[in-house]
Amino acid sequence: MAKGRKMPMGMPGGGNMNNMMKQVQKMQKQMEDMQKELEQREVEATSGGGAVSVKVTGKKALLELKIDPEVVDGDDVEMLEDMIVAAINEAFRKADEMMESEMKKVTGGVNIPGLM
């Protein structure tokens, strides 16, 4: 490089770097806002053909558990327990799927490690 010549903003592409940082900060704010909103959303899942239903938040907090009285059999508590676990796990899966789908909208589909 010739003596006395300087690159704008002290580095090559300095102006573009500032714009990129502003975009990253904007995306970060959007992701934080989206995450807060999604934590308040609810998802519902069922098992046993609807015999057990659960409702959870996007933050995976169990809000509601409903059991059809017809499936309550004192001699087969294990089956009921399995249906409850299956419904809760399905609701958690749906909550993860909802979070991932909405975050992709903010990030443009770019996978950002450590985001979720």
- Write out pLDDT tens, residues 65-112: 999 999 888 888 899 999 999 999 999 999 999 888 888 887 776 666
Q: pLDDT band at residue 59, thresholds of 50, 70 and 90?
A: confident
Can you tell me which residue has the tokens 């249906």?
A: 83
CA distances from 43 to 15, 36, 47 (A): 44, 15, 14
Domain at 35-105, CATH from 3.40.50.10540, 3.30.230.10, 3.30.1310.10, 3.40.50.300: 3.30.1310.10
In the chain, what are the domain boundaries? 35-105
45: tokens are: 């899942």
